């Protein structure tokens, strides 16, 4: 029994005031005591309820976080089994890599990658099959043969192609992902307004290698 209930029972046992001879109203029936008792009870219920709710929310958030991490790990594992050269994910839903084969493209499609953008001229070895194999509206080619093709026009064409994908899972590739990194760095500067140093880092993360000197020169020139 709580100390509050014990004290209330003691006060309830008092019936008369011996000094004044007046009947004393039992405290258990006093509006003030009833209010105090209900207030105490409600306060305790509130504490318990809030504690339970917070625990439930924390558990729910933890479960969702674990589920999200598990899904991301599964997706990364599935992509790694495809065997793409220089595979990277600069942002969720966008894969950058070297040239996929038809079989790899089929596997990527089975994993939910619906859009393909090639930065290779169709005449390059291993390229040119996409237009005949991939479904209409899911493939675009922006031919980048060398540094001379690192133009604002081609960068803007890439930006439009990525926008047309409308956040659907997309594979952006060239022979090794070097040209991918170049255009991604220039897009970051020219289209997205990213600082040159950060744009260069983004390009490197997307596969930029031998084209880096040409990209650095263009980045230094600014917008």
Q: Residue 170 to residues 68, 97, 147, 191, 218: CA-CA distances in angstroms?
A: 20, 11, 24, 19, 26
Task: Give pLDDT, residue 139.
Answer: 97
Q: DSSP states of 71-129 as a string?
A: HHHHHHHHHHHHT-TT-EEEETTEEEESPPPHHHHHHHHHTT--EEEE-S-TTSTT-S-
Domain layout of the chain by residue ranges? 3-71, 84-221
What average pLDDT is seen over the chain? 77
Looking at mean pLDDT, say which of 10-19, 28-37, 191-200 comes out highest.
Answer: 191-200
- Locate 112 and state its tokens: 């939910």
Classify burial at 121, counting beta carbons within 10 Å of its beta carbon; exposed 0-12, middle 13-18, buried 19 or more: middle
Instruction: Specify the pTM.
Output: 0.67
Asked if pLDDT for residue 7 goes beyond 50, the answer is no
Q: Work out the pLDDT band at 50, boundaries 50, 70, 90.
A: very low
Nearest to residue 161, comparing CAs of 176, 144, 178? Answer: 144
Task: Give pLDDT, residue 76.
Answer: 59
Task: Give pLDDT, residue 37.
Answer: 45
Collect all residues with Cβ–Cβ distance below 8 Å to 199 and sequence separation of at least 6.
185, 186, 188, 189, 219
68 vs 209 pLDDT, higher one? 209
163 DSSP assignment:
H
Return the H-helix or E-strand segment holding 141: strand 139-141
CA–CA distance, 176 with 86 (Å, rounded to integer): 7
CA–CA distance, 117 with 140 (Å, rounded to integer): 5
Task: Give pLDDT, residue 95.
Answer: 95
Q: Work out the pLDDT band at 156, boundaries 50, 70, 90.
A: very high
Q: Using alpha carbons only, how large is the chain's radius of gyration in Å?
A: 34
84-221 is classed CATH 3.90.190.10 = yes
Q: Return the exposure string of 22-57: e unless at least 16 CB atoms fall within 10 Å of the residue's CB, then b.
A: eeeeebeeeeebeeeeeeeeeeeeeeeeeeeeeeee
């Amino acid at each position: 029994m709580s100390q509050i209930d014990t004290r209330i029972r003691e006060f309830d046992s008092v019936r008369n005031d011996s000094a004044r001879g007046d009947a004393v109203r039992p405290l258990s029936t006093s509006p003030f005591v009833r209010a105090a008792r209900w207030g105490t009870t409600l306060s305790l219920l509130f504490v318990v309820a809030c504690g339970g709710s917070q625990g439930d929310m924390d558990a729910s958030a933890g479960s969702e976080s674990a589920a999200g991490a598990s899904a991301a790990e599964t997706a990364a594992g599935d992509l790694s089994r495809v065997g793409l050269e220089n595979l990277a994910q600069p942002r969720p839903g966008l894969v950058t890599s070297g040239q996929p084969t038809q079989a790899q493209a089929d596997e990527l499609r089975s994993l939910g990658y619906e859009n393909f953008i090639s930065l290779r001229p169709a005449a390059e070895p291993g390229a040119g099959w996409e237009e005949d194999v991939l479904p209409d509206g899911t493939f675009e080619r922006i031919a980048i043969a060398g540094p001379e093709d690192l133009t604002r026009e081609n960068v803007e064409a890439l930006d439009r192609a990525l926008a047309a994908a409308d956040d659907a899972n997309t594979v952006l590739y060239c022979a090794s992902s070097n040209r991918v990194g170049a255009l991604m760095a220039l897009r970051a500067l020219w289209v997205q307004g990213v600082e040159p140093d950060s744009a260069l880092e983004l390009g490197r993360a997307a596969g930029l290698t031998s084209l880096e000197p040409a990209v650095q020169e263009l980045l230094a020139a600014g917008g």
